[in-house]
Chains A and B, each alone.
Chain A
């Protein structure tokens, strides 16, 4: 609140005309609302962290308050009962290959669509955009049947391929925007220098769209790490489950231990939070792509 009072009025001209007071009251109101909203966004982290660090008895004494003593017991039990380590590893073994596969396929496809003068490129791009608008739930059952029929149910490869396909349309669309920013003349120059399409992609195009690729990888990692429904349906077996399935099923038990759930949640949040801290700008760029054009 102090900060609001201290901040200089943005447009002195207007302030003077409207009389003093009013704009700063408005700003104060905005600030208060924003502060409350911000608290609701930060509180989950604080709550989960504090609940994970205290005993169950302590939690029951004052659920929303601060812990009176700390314990690492919840974390130990998150590993022994929830098998959080195993779940995280499962997730990584699906998500990392899928993210890499998406990046490779999307790069090649976007490159071909934008720069290799393919006859049907406009039509194909339109089809890709239509696929983006398709809600994945609609595909849940036929994809389940397909995976079942080819014997990839409860197989990581099945989920990797499904994840790759589901995220490809968006990824191709995102990358075409970056591909277009590479001047055509550079590609021509590379061709004259003797580079074939593969070499041109590798030595000229990729270095130039690295920021776009970064955005794509972080965004896809986030999406897939957090994904639930396809993972739930395709990797049903106990020991292969991904982290979100494991947590969702664990916390659904009637006599769950809040501390252990919180410890699991906290650990599962680490990758998204790291991405949030280090790649916030990439995420923002990816999520707003296409909004203003």
Chain B
């Protein structure tokens, strides 16, 4: 186990002008689980592969346990990796797969057996040790891949979208399993995923990457409550944050068709800002806090999910595409901003499932000015609250 320091690491692929990974600096503490998250093609996997030593860096330095490993081969870095499609050796049994890395490192047989046995037991692979990967189910293969990585007791464990090949149910199960294993073994872990839920549930800290640029590194709750910029705000959280343009007029903020008092935010003299509100922060008006301002919503779509429901409704004011502008990434898989028929933006509210709500129904929601987030319309950067400086993180 060891800390990993990434110092200005950069990757420019041959023939490409833009860097796939642009001078990323990060430190993963000993025993920590850091999740790299971002839309596909954002460079998170490239960064992981550079840490693993299977991709060369174009610049910068990588240190594991204090030692500069930038020029070292993967095999000399003492890290283990779990691949997206597991990369188990198809001609070896599960047992042989687990033994392989230890055998290469010339570990005595007795100790090897002990370790393999322990790992097989921990991952409930005991029954499967004589099988070959071709005879295993997806979840079992995933566990073998985990086992192969863990049995080496490496300084760090790198995982590249390890759950993405599993079906939805199994993925949730394995997610919990991974959290449990990390809790027990406590190996320094870097975990790559495009799924923000996975990131939020597994990471001690989460690093959001877009277009090869590190956007923010913070614990999950902080990422959610104080995103550094619009990209992070809209990438983290499901359903995605509602964003619309707000106009400052006569000391009041006009936003989504309602007038609000301006919260203590350093607007820096701007009269137009982007304002975001989390769907979960839009509550029925009667249940909102004291300072809440009423917002009348005409339901366009209501999605009933059992315990809760998602209500989509149009709001007055121009739609904001700032979220996608900041990311600048056309290939990214999140839908853009929802638009109503007349081109105004659609907001989502997550409400407790009460009664049947359908299109055309009117709802009275409350907007709490204290829960609003403000972003610079040009740069997408978060505008800091004046009073509470604690939660804000710097870029």
**In the complex, are there CB atoms of A and B closer than 8 Å?**
yes
**Which residue numbers of A lie inside 8 Å of B, CB to CB?**
183, 185-186, 188-196, 199, 203-204, 207-208
Query: Given A183-B87, A192-B52, A199–B104 Cβ distance below 8 Å?
Result: yes
Contact B73 A193 (CB under 8 A): no
Stretch at the interface among B76-84, B135-143, B185-193, B318-326: B76-84
Whole-angstrom CA separation of A188 from B85 in the bound complex = 12
Q: Which residues of B contact A207 (CB under 8 A)?
A: 91
Contact A191 B105 (CB under 8 A): no
Q: Which residues of A contact B83 (CB under 8 A)?
A: 185, 188-189
Q: Which residues of B contact A192 (CB under 8 A)?
A: 52-54, 74-75, 79-81, 101
Whole-angstrom CA separation of A194 from B153 in the bound complex = 13
With an 8 A cutoff between CB atoms, is B148 at the interface? yes
Contact B54 A191 (CB under 8 A): yes
- At the interface, is chain B mostly helix, strand, loop or mixed? loop
Q: Which residues of A contact B73 (CB under 8 A)?
A: 191, 196
Residue of B with least CB distance to A204: B89
Contact A188 B148 (CB under 8 A): no
Q: Can you offer 10 A-B residue contacts whose CB atoms are under 8 A?
A: A183-B85, A188-B74, A188-B87, A189-B148, A191-B53, A191-B54, A192-B53, A194-B101, A195-B75, A207-B91
Whole-angstrom CA separation of A1 from B333 in the bound complex = 63
Q: Which residues of B contact A190 (CB under 8 A)?
A: 89, 100
Whole-angstrom CA separation of A186 from B105 in the bound complex = 18
Whole-angstrom CA separation of A190 from B88 in the bound complex = 9
Interface size class of B (residues with CB under 8 A): 20 to 34
Contact A208 B54 (CB under 8 A): no
- B335, chain A: closest CB distance, angstroms: 31
Whole-angstrom CA separation of A13 from B152 in the bound complex = 63
Q: Which residues of A contact B87 (CB under 8 A)?
A: 183, 185-186, 188-189
Residue of A with least CB distance to B101: A193
Contact A196 B75 (CB under 8 A): yes
Residue of B with least CB distance to A207: B91
Residue of B with least CB distance to A186: B87
Whole-angstrom CA separation of A250 from B166 in the bound complex = 69
With an 8 A cutoff between CB atoms, is B90 at the interface? yes
Query: Given A188-B87, A204-B89, A208-B91, A193–B54 Cβ distance below 8 Å?
Result: no
Q: Mark B161-179, 1 if CB is under 8 A from A, else 0.
A: 0000000000000000000
Please give 4 more A-B residue pairs, beta carbons under 8 A apart, in addition to A185-B83, A188-B87, A195-B75.
Answer: A189-B88, A192-B75, A196-B73, A196-B75
Q: Which residues of B contact A185 (CB under 8 A)?
A: 83-85, 87
- B374, chain A: closest CB distance, angstroms: 44
Contact B90 A193 (CB under 8 A): no
Whole-angstrom CA separation of A190 from B89 in the bound complex = 9
Q: Which residues of B contact A191 (CB under 8 A)?
A: 53-54, 73-75
Q: Which residues of B contact A208 (CB under 8 A)?
A: 90-91
Q: Name the residue among A183, A191, A194 with the largest chain B CB count within 10 angstroms.
A: A194
Q: Which residues of A contact B53 (CB under 8 A)?
A: 191-192
Q: Mark B81-111, 1 if CB is under 8 A from A, else 0.
A: 1011101111100000000110011000000
- B165, chain A: closest CB distance, angstroms: 12
Q: Mark B205-226, 1 if CB is under 8 A from A, else 0.
A: 0000000000000000000000
- A189, chain B: closest CB distance, angstroms: 4
- B105, chain A: closest CB distance, angstroms: 5
Q: Which residues of A contact B85 (CB under 8 A)?
A: 183, 185
Contact B152 A193 (CB under 8 A): yes
Give residues 245-292 of B contacting A (CB, 8 Å): none
Q: Which residues of B contact A204 (CB under 8 A)?
A: 89
Whole-angstrom CA separation of A186 from B91 in the bound complex = 11
Q: Name the residue among B53, B80, B89, B105 with the largest chain A CB count within 10 angstroms.
A: B89
A-B pairs with lowest CB-CB distance, top 3: A193-B101, A185-B87, A189-B87
Query: Given A188-B54, A188-B83, A193–B75 Cβ distance below 8 Å?
Result: yes
- A194, chain B: closest CB distance, angstroms: 4
- B170, chain A: closest CB distance, angstroms: 21
Contact A194 B90 (CB under 8 A): no
Of the residues B54, B84, B89, B105, contact of A194 by C-beta under 8 Å:
B105
- A226, chain B: closest CB distance, angstroms: 33
Whole-angstrom CA separation of A196 from B73 in the bound complex = 9
Whole-angstrom CA separation of A61 from B228 in the bound complex = 103
Whole-angstrom CA separation of A103 from B378 in the bound complex = 63
Q: Mark B122-166, 1 if CB is under 8 A from A, else 0.
A: 000000000000000000000000001000100000000000000
Q: Name the residue among A189, A199, A208 with the largest chain B CB count within 10 angstroms.
A: A189
Query: Given A188-B74, A188-B83, A195–B54 Cβ distance below 8 Å?
Result: no
Q: Which residues of A contact B101 (CB under 8 A)?
A: 192-194
- A253, chain B: closest CB distance, angstroms: 53
Query: Given A192-B75, A203-B100, A186–B54 Cβ distance below 8 Å?
Result: no
- B18, chain A: closest CB distance, angstroms: 22
Residue of A with least CB distance to B106: A194
Q: Name the residue among A183, A186, A191, A193 with the largest chain B CB count within 10 angstroms.
A: A193
- B373, chain A: closest CB distance, angstroms: 40
- A46, chain B: closest CB distance, angstroms: 43
- A202, chain B: closest CB distance, angstroms: 11
Whole-angstrom CA separation of A203 from B80 in the bound complex = 18
Q: Name the residue among A195, A196, A199 with the largest chain B CB count within 10 angstroms.
A: A195
Q: Name the residue among B52, B85, B90 with the largest chain A CB count within 10 angstroms.
A: B90
- A117, chain B: closest CB distance, angstroms: 10
Query: Given A185-B83, A186-B87, A188-B87, A193–B100 Cβ distance below 8 Å?
Result: yes
Whole-angstrom CA separation of A191 from B53 in the bound complex = 9
Contact B81 A189 (CB under 8 A): yes
Whole-angstrom CA separation of A203 from B83 in the bound complex = 19
Whole-angstrom CA separation of A208 from B54 in the bound complex = 21
- A122, chain B: closest CB distance, angstroms: 13
- A280, chain B: closest CB distance, angstroms: 24
Q: Which residues of A contact B105 (CB under 8 A)?
A: 194
